[in-house]
């Protein structure tokens, strides 16, 4: 049997909620999947076709204008079985791609300006995403949830997303403050401040808001 990837199950899970067209799937993914499993639009178009080919979804045509039809995907019994089986298997460990941290890691190859501007740029991205998330949750509280019967789940995801974005924003503010105190970017090494920070890390003491 051909292997399904985690992305396959991400789509299959959406199809288990209701039937969607590929276009709707890409939009729904932007509002939900994206926070835990970000995938490109082109792949979100391709994946349901694969599910059909493997028998985990089927497709029907619906009118979508005077000329156009749209393909609507729905889960099959085999798809539901596969999804349940996956939900009982072992998950992969979380992975973060954080380019600002990577660039900070090479701070000693450039000047303070470049590092600070990377942090500032990332922070404004993060603020935008924070605001987007807040708008979603406010809509839910205002009675405009697309799947109100799933809100007990969405709430737990929302808590995580808010706290993650907060952490990244606060860390980038913290890093900015620290770097502003540096006399230069390279060769500082184990300063007293660095030793304090590392000691606090191993002592499991709070740092960022301290």
Cβ atoms 56, 74 nearer than 8 A: no
78 is a contact residue toward a second copy (CB under 8 A): no
* Least CB distance to a second copy at residue 4 (A): 13
Show the site string, 54-93: x = touches DNA by CB under 7 A, - = not: ----------xxxxx-xx--------------------x-
Among residues 62, 64, 78, 188, which is the contact residue for a second copy, using CB under 8 A? 188
**Residue 43: contacted member of DNA, a second copy, none (CB under 5 to 8 Å, by partner type):** DNA
The conformational region for residue 68 under phi > 0 = left, psi -120 to 50 = alpha, else beta, is beta
**Residue 144: contacted member of a second copy, DNA, none (CB under 5 to 8 Å, by partner type):** none
In which residue are the tokens 């974005």 written?
165
47 is a contact residue toward DNA (CB under 7 A): yes
Nearer to DNA by C-beta: 70 or 112? 70
SS3 category, 64: coil
Q: 12: Cβ–Cβ under 8 A, 6 or more apart, which residues? A: 4, 51, 56, 57, 75, 79, 82, 83, 86
Nearer to a second copy by C-beta: 13 or 55? 13
Convert 152-191 to b/e letters by CB count within 10 Å (16 or more is b): eebeeebeebeebbeebbebbebbeeeeeeeeebeeeeee
**Joined tokens for residue 52:** 């059909």
Among residues 62, 78, 131, 208, which is the contact residue for a second copy, using CB under 8 A? 208
Nearer to DNA by C-beta: 28 or 154? 28
Cα separation, 21 vs 27, in Å, equals: 10
Among residues 5, 18, 38, 146, which is the contact residue for a second copy, using CB under 8 A? 38
Among residues 62, 138, 144, 146, which is the contact residue for a second copy, using CB under 8 A? 138
DSSP 32: T
Residues in contact with DNA by the rule CB under 7 A: 2-3, 5-8, 21-23, 38-43, 45-47, 64-68, 70-71, 92
């Amino acid at each position: 049997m051909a292997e399904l990837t985690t992305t396959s199950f991400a789509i299959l899970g959406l199809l288990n909620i209701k039937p969607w067209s590929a276009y709707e799937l890409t939009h729904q993914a932007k509002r939900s999947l994206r926070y835990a499993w970000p995938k490109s639009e082109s792949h979100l178009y391709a994946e349901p076709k694969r599910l059909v080919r493997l028998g985990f979804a089927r497709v029907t045509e619906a009118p979508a204008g005077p000329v156009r039809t749209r393909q609507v995907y729905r889960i099959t019994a085999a798809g539901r079985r596969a999804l349940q089986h996956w939900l009982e298997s072992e998950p992969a460990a979380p992975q973060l791609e954080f380019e600002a941290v990577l660039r900070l890691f090479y701070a000693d190859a450039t000047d303070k300006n470049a590092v600070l501007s990377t942090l500032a740029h990332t922070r404004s991205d993060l603020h935008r995403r924070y605001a987007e998330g807040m708008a979603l949750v406010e809509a839910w509280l205002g009675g405009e949830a697309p799947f109100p019967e799933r809100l007990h789940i969405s709430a737990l995801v929302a808590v995580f997303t808010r706290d993650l974005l907060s952490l990244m924003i606060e860390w980038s503010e913290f890093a900015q403050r620290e770097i502003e105190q540096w006399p230069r970017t390279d060769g500082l090494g184990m300063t007293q401040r660095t030793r304090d920070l590392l000691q606090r890390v191993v002592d499991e003491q709070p740092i960022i808001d301290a």
